Amino acid sequence: MRVALAGNPNAGKTTLFNTLTGLRHHVGNWPGKTVEKKQGMWTYQGESIEVTDLPGTYSITPYAEDERVAKEALESGAFDAIINIVDAANLEHHLYLTLQLLDRHLPVTVFLNMSRRAKKKGIRIDATALSAALGVPVIAGEANSEEAKTRIGRLLTHRRRLQDQGHLPKAEQRALPNDQGESRSADEVRQQVKAIAEMAIHAPSRIPSRSDRVDKIATGPGGIPLFLIIMAMTFQMTFVASAPLSQLIETGITSLGGVVGLLHLQPAWLASLVVDGIIGGIGAVLVFIPSIFLLFLLLSMLEDSGYMARAAYVMDRSMRRMGLHGKSFLPMVLGFGCNVPAVMATRTLEDRHSRLLTILLIPLMSCSARLPVYVLFAGAFFPARAGMVIFLLYILGILMALLMGILFRRTLFRRKELHLLLELPPYRLPMVKNTLITAWDRTLLFIRNAGTIILSTVLLIWFLASVPQGVAYASRHSLIGRIGILAAPLLSPLGFGFWEAAVALLFGIAAKEVIIGTFAALYGTAATGLGPALQAHFTPLSAASFLVFVLLYTPCAAALGAIRREAGAKWAAFTAGYLLVLAWIMAFLVFQLGTLAGWS
């Protein structure tokens, strides 16, 4: 039997889903959408139940992409039962969706989540009265308890039996709900919610909660400094803790390549395909995994704790300067880790314009793959001020986002005001199991979405670097070398008009950190000995110009793929193009102004 979980964001939907399915679930995309689709299996007394976790939604009227997905799924008639989870501490708000579901004659069972918070607040709910008022079964319990699981299972199997005996229509027999439910106005539904709530909820008089006290700091004048500290710590922890693992993976890949090289595969191109193409390509994906997973873990902890909504709140005012509101901030923060999940995260934004604009600006958030390039160049050319140089690059990216945001808002997205309606969930300790599962799911999704693109781009580049037959890999005689020689004159005004730089930048489109490996291959040194080799080609000024170019130019293939899926091929092409032009102009300014100032 097929069951869907529906409910408001923060109702405990994910917790219940994890309780029901444990680790027996997988995450994919809804057909044709980039919205996460979570499905899991659960066997209760021999009955196998397929559970689908719908995106959280406040109402059945869709405003954002994920809400549209939830609405379509609910109305598709594909489910035998719909478990609507409502939080006891927030019942009056959550019943709105419940009534909308009932208006559509959907097979709803209400799960009343008696969260710890509700208990602490002394909120009591008369589940029987609620059930009578709604006319559907109400199960009360804790979303993370085995008892809840059993009771839901019992109810579902009972429903199944009724269906088998013909007392209840099955999913496929039920007439599709028409839109008549929408004839009730929001106001009427609200009135009914109020009446039901008054009857069923016994809440003690309110005392200022702990969340209010934390909010005094988090949303007060100290909110922005606090936010900056939390973000700095998040990224610091991500990079510090994941570095040894990434290092280990890199070493493993390199030695694997070495071992395979010893096999002397024949013909030579096959050996090259395996070592440079396949192993190199898989390696390019694998080295990302520790940092991506850790970043997702920390961010989902922040999300689960309720803090992320506060970050959106404190950043709202600054974001408005570039024509976005606070909610766009979360995707942009993700962009510092990796642009791919950042682009994916824009689906929670309600209006299309904000969403597109956010997507266009995300590549300006310097992702972690660009960092190794900065570290290498800054270390080689500005050893005394390497940290400062890297910091300035991040700031430059943000400034460019601000500037381009204002520009796009004036030209492409001229428009009315920006609405903000943002729930600030109560603070709580993040649940370890939930955050681990969420982080792991997102990492898998990243591997699947980005991995294939990175891998195929790496293979394409391997091909370009290996033809015509018999050339040394990625040498000036290879196809890519020739492209590099053609492109080099375009880079001369920027200070690095030699073919190796052009080839490295082309390779960088596969994944930004590949730039380093390319230089190493072209200059015939190990990555560790790259500093002196670079110093022979770059001056400090042209190195600075190169770094600015790397920061700003065309995003990597995986990010472009994500943009294409979210916004369409047209916008992906536009992003690639505008960033290339912007990078060229900025690098040009750096090099030419620097030359004028006599820094060359």
Would you tell me which residues interact with other proteins (CB under 8 A)? 58-59, 61, 63, 89-90, 92-93, 96, 121, 179, 182, 185-187, 189-190, 203, 211-212, 215, 219-221, 309, 312-314, 316-317, 325-326, 416-426
**From its phi and psi, is residue 164 left (phi > 0), alpha (psi between -120 and 50) or beta?**
alpha
Q: Which CB atom, from 189 or from 279, has the smaller least distance to other proteins?
A: 189
The H or E element containing residue 140 is strand 138-141
Q: Which CB atom, from 284 or from 314, has the smaller least distance to other proteins?
A: 314
Peptide bond into 425 cis (omega under 30): no
Q: Which CB atom, from 313 or from 446, has the smaller least distance to other proteins?
A: 313
Report d(CA 85, CA 69) in Å as an integer: 18
Q: Which CB atom, from 353 or from 442, has the smaller least distance to other proteins?
A: 353
- The partner residues of 25 in beta bridges, in order of sequence, read 40
Report d(CA 229, CA 218) in Å as an integer: 12
Give min distance, CB of 554 to other proteins, in A.
34
Give min distance, CB of 326 to other proteins, in A.
7
* Other beta carbons less than 10 A from residue 207's beta carbon: 8
Identify residue 232 by its one-letter amino acid code.
Answer: A
Report d(CA 295, CA 303) in Å as an integer: 12
**Residue pair 3/82 in contact by the 8 Å Cβ criterion:** yes
Q: Which CB atom, from 58 or from 440, has the smaller least distance to other proteins?
A: 58
Instruction: Give residues with Cβ within 8 angstroms of 592, minimum separation 6.
Output: 493
**Residue pair 594/541 in contact by the 8 Å Cβ criterion:** yes
Q: Which CB atom, from 140 or from 297, has the smaller least distance to other proteins?
A: 140
Report d(CA 306, CA 182) in Å as an integer: 32
Give min distance, CB of 349 to other proteins, in A.
14
- The partner residues of 202 in beta bridges, in order of sequence, read 124
Give min distance, CB of 86 to other proteins, in A.
12
Report d(CA 149, CA 51) in Å as an integer: 12
Give min distance, CB of 73 to other proteins, in A.
17
Instruction: Give residues with Cβ within 8 angstroms of 457, minimum separation 6.
Output: 509, 510, 511, 557
DSSP 8-state code for residue 114: -
Q: Which CB atom, from 1 or from 60, has the smaller least distance to other proteins?
A: 60
Give min distance, CB of 75 to other proteins, in A.
13
Instruction: For residue 398, count CB atoms less than 10 angstroms from its CB and return exposed for 0-12, middle for 13-18, buried for 19 or more.
Output: middle
**Residue pair 97/4 in contact by the 8 Å Cβ criterion:** no
Give min distance, CB of 420 to other proteins, in A.
3
Report d(CA 66, CA 37) in Å as an integer: 10
Report d(CA 597, CA 586) in Å as an integer: 16
Report d(CA 547, CA 368) in Å as an integer: 14
Q: Which CB atom, from 304 or from 500, has the smaller least distance to other proteins?
A: 304
**Residue pair 32/158 in contact by the 8 Å Cβ criterion:** no
* Other beta carbons less than 10 A from residue 445's beta carbon: 20
Q: Which CB atom, from 316 or from 441, has the smaller least distance to other proteins?
A: 316
Give min distance, CB of 7 to other proteins, in A.
14
Report d(CA 143, CA 85) in Å as an integer: 9
Report d(CA 505, CA 13) in Å as an integer: 45
Give min distance, CB of 435 to other proteins, in A.
22
- The partner residues of 38 in beta bridges, in order of sequence, read 27, 53
Report d(CA 95, CA 291) in Å as an integer: 40
- How many angstroms separate the Cα of 447 from the Cα of each of 55, 247, 347, 358, 403? 21, 19, 19, 23, 32
Give min distance, CB of 600 to other proteins, in A.
45
Give min distance, CB of 138 to other proteins, in A.
19
Q: Which CB atom, from 313 or from 553, has the smaller least distance to other proteins?
A: 313
Q: Which CB atom, from 374 or from 427, has the smaller least distance to other proteins?
A: 427
Rg (CA), the chain: 27
Q: Which CB atom, from 158 or from 213, has the smaller least distance to other proteins?
A: 213
Q: Which CB atom, from 280 or from 331, has the smaller least distance to other proteins?
A: 331
Give min distance, CB of 230 to other proteins, in A.
18
Give min distance, CB of 189 to other proteins, in A.
8
Give min distance, CB of 15 to other proteins, in A.
18
Q: Which CB atom, from 200 or from 547, has the smaller least distance to other proteins?
A: 200
